[in-house]
Structure 1
Amino acid sequence: MRRLFLLALLFCSWPVTESLADTEFRGEQSLWQDTVWSGRVLVDGILTIPAGVTLEIRPGTEVRFTRRDTNGDGIGENEIFIQGVLRVLGTAENPVRFTSAEADPVPGDWGALNMMASEEENLLEHCLVEYGYRGFHAHFANASVKNSVFSRNLRGLQFQESTVVIDGCLVEKNFNGMQFRNSMVRLSATRVLDNHWGIRCVYSELTMHDCEVAGNLVNGVNLRDSSLDADSLLVTGNRKGIYLQRSRGSLRGSRIRDNSEHGILLEDSDFLVVGNLIAGNGRAGVRWLNSRGELRDNHLAGNGEYALVNEGEGTVDARSNWWGTTAAELLAAAIRDGSDIAGRGLVDAGDPLAAPPSPPAAGLQ
């Protein structure tokens, strides 16, 4: 992740200048042939990239959008509308920047890099996207996003009915970091930090590897009617770390710690939790509500109120975990279930581990 840190420093040190753009687009315009951008570009309207046309943006290009809000809803409308192909080819040394042209920029100054019905090989690499309504939006599209920063947008990234691969990115200080529905999304080596919401999705398939989700005001990872296949995560400092509703999947070799409420909340879900460190969470390490699955070989000691809460009717299979103790009385105190409240299911914590398992070798430190 060192290259991403250096990229962020470069963006932060990039001077804001008032010089005129090399290329300007005003009003409603379209590119009718393959086009290459470099230098400074000003978009003062909606620029369409039609089907069959490719827009390539070279390293070091700066694209600025003026603010236009015709309906008074507080959301800027100027944007790039892509039905053809978008290829943003920044480098670590010379990234591409998409930003507001306003003297005092705020999130929502401009619309989006708005990709609609574009199923070609779209690519965003080494770019900064800031102060947009939806920094990058894909609908019925395919895209690969690499080594890029999405910051101070109302929605950092948003997808519908799309397939998106995100690698080596930083999504920070947006209202919604990332949200999507009916999509297939693969995240790797990506940080989702200090947003109001971290990751939210419905009716989607999400794969996460070697990612950090931290410091988000509400929930870190929030799925409904979706699937999550995740390993090597660091999920920390959110309100709820991982919250699944009517979802399925597995979490392996991850650190879920120091979230203010629950580390993991499973509601009407089918989930396998294996080999994780789940500690330091304010209320419960795991809250289990009418869900199915197993807890195996996890470190569950050191959470605020309980290691595990069963609020459903069925039994939770939680054998072979480390609870901080093997003493029956202390182990029972770490669990809240039908033994404490009538009508709830029990927790089967049989054969607890005699010592804490080795900590997960999650890649992000």
Structure 2
Amino acid sequence: MKFKQILAVLTVAALAFTGCQKANKDVDTTPQNGSSIGEVSGVWAKNSVHEIKGDIIIPEGKTLTIEEGVTVLMDATAKPEVVIKGNLYSLGTAENPVKFTVADAYRTAENKFGKLWGGILAGPTCAELVLDNTILEYGGNTTSDASTSVKMGLYKATAGENLPALWFSNVNGKLVVTNSIIRNFQEDCTYIEGGKIIFSNNVFYTTGVTGGEAMNFKSGCLADVAYNFVYSCNTNALKLSNSGDRNPQAYIIAYNNTMVNTGWRRPTAKGGSVWLEATVRADLYNNLFANARFGIKRDPKKLEDSRSKNDYNWYYGFDQATVDQFQVGKNDIVPGGTNDVRGTKAGDNDPKFVNYPLNNSETSPDYNTTWDFHLQGNSPALTKGTTNFTRHHKAGITLSNGLTYTSPEPATFVGAYGTKQ
């Protein structure tokens, strides 16, 4: 056994003897047998710390379960990628989330858009992936010819691509992202190319330097997207597309989401809130657009499926320029239903957030965690939603480890948050 490996074993044993979990660093990701990939699986125990100094991979047929309170500390010099060929279950709690992050010294304003590690890249053999009460932050590194993802043909398999926080690519797989936070990434938060999917109760902010969506779904996806909050992503909160021509046809049901200031930092045709294209089928209900660019918009050259529906959505603009750009008949805005709330004058239909300055800069990516986007008790948006539609995963997505996740019931309020309980 190499001296370095012996030393690592003795170190872990000494830490176990002293009962010190905080300094648990039991993942050896140094090159082995000439490979730059460290294989990991099994269980990372509650509240342990794992320093990742090189690319790691969960092998096909293997599983890694990450328990609550685990910190996955990415080396900002090595900028590791997390490659999943097997299964990953990241199972935090609200009080004790799992965190994929970098050392405190790198968590600075200069690094607000990350680029300090890669992302979680789930290849076509990844059958199940769960991010529950998990924080992903400060990643989105740009690939090179030396990147493991490029060598393995993952994601876009080319150098010069900005990695998303999460890529998933199994049309027969199961993907759940719930109660989680994705922040401080260079471009896309998620890029999803297939699967049975639930995205619920997540928060996205401070993402996208020159491009990037919060949630980007392609062909092969059957997704329920509900109770998510998106603040000032560079481009769209939701990019919904059937590109790639995988089966099944992409069908996204998005309801009770709140989008604030989205799309203004990419002043092109695509910058906005919800983008529909390439025969995607999309049903959109109970979504709240506050100072967001465009609202629901289509690619006029690659139209969405004619069966798509949208109604009971709420639009607010603090200034007239914002209100003008989400009017039907302009900017390829998709007509909504008779129950949409869409004023024509600045300040119409104030949703009455508990604590947020509605005149806040639309182009600032900076997020204040003291803001509160619940609705006040006198908000007119509290009764303008609908529950009269069917979602994909009402019966739940059951995983091989026995867990079942169900897409949440829709609410009669609009947006991701009702009144504060």
Structure 2 counterpart of 1:179, from 216, 220, 236 = 216
Structure 1 counterpart of 2:230, from 171, 192, 202 = 192
Cα-to-partner distance string for 1:28-56 (whole Å, 9 max, x where unaligned): 34436534344100111111101111101
C-alpha RMSD of matched pairs (Å) = 2.9
* Deviation (angstroms), 1:167: 1.1
Structure 2 distance, partners of 1:21, 1:86, is: 20
Structure 1 counterpart of 2:91, from 89, 92, 107 = 89
2:154 matched to 1:145? no
* Deviation (angstroms), 1:260: 7.0
SS, match of residue 150 in structure 1: strand
Aligned pairs for 1:1-365 (under 5 A) are 21-24=24-27, 25-27=29-31, 28-31=36-39, 34-38=42-46, 39-68=48-77, 76=79, 78-101=80-103, 103-105=105-107, 106=111, 107-133=114-140, 134-140=164-170, 141-154=173-186, 155-175=188-208, 176=212, 177-182=214-219, 183-197=221-235, 198-203=237-242, 204-216=250-262, 217=264, 218-225=271-278, 226-245=280-299, 246-248=303-305, 249-258=308-317, 281-287=323-329, 295-303=337-345, 359-360=384-385, 361-363=413-415, 364-365=417-418
Conserved 8 A contact 1:135-1:156 = yes
In percent, how many aligned pairs have the same letter? Answer: 17
For 1:190, the aligned partner's letter is N
- Unmatched segments (≥5 aa) in structure 2: 1-21, 141-163, 243-249, 265-270, 347-382, 386-412
Tell me the number of residue pairs that the alignment of Structure 1 and Structure 2 aligns.
271
Cα 1:293–1:52 shift into 2, 3 Å: same
Conserved 8 A contact 2:131-2:178 = yes
Cα 1:101–1:114 shift into 2, 3 Å: farther
Structure 2 distance, partners of 1:232, 1:47, is: 40
Structure 2 distance, partners of 1:292, 1:22, is: 51
TM-score (norm 1): 0.66
Conserved 8 A contact 1:239-1:259 = no
Conserved 8 A contact 2:310-2:336 = no
For 1:135, the aligned partner's letter is A
Structure 2 distance, partners of 1:294, 1:41, is: 48
Q: Which has the higher contact order (CA 8 A, sep 6+)?
A: 2
Cα-to-partner distance string for 1:80-105 (whole Å, 9 max, x where unaligned): 11111101110111110001247224
Bigger shift: residues 121-130 or 30-39: 30-39
Conserved 8 A contact 1:241-1:259 = no
Cα-to-partner distance string for 1:108-146 (whole Å, 9 max, x where unaligned): 111111111245332111011001112122122431111
* Deviation (angstroms), 1:205: 2.3
Cα 1:202–1:259 shift into 2, 3 Å: farther
Cα-to-partner distance string for 1:222-249 (whole Å, 9 max, x where unaligned): 1211221011110121221111220131
* Deviation (angstroms), 1:184: 3.0
SS, match of residue 103 in structure 1: helix
For 2:224, the aligned partner's letter is R
Cα 1:256–1:52 shift into 2, 3 Å: same
For 2:117, the aligned partner's letter is W
More strand by share: 1
Conserved 8 A contact 2:293-2:325 = no
- Unmatched segments (≥5 aa) in structure 1: 1-18, 70-75, 263-279, 305-357
Structure 1 distance, partners of 2:94, 2:42, is: 25
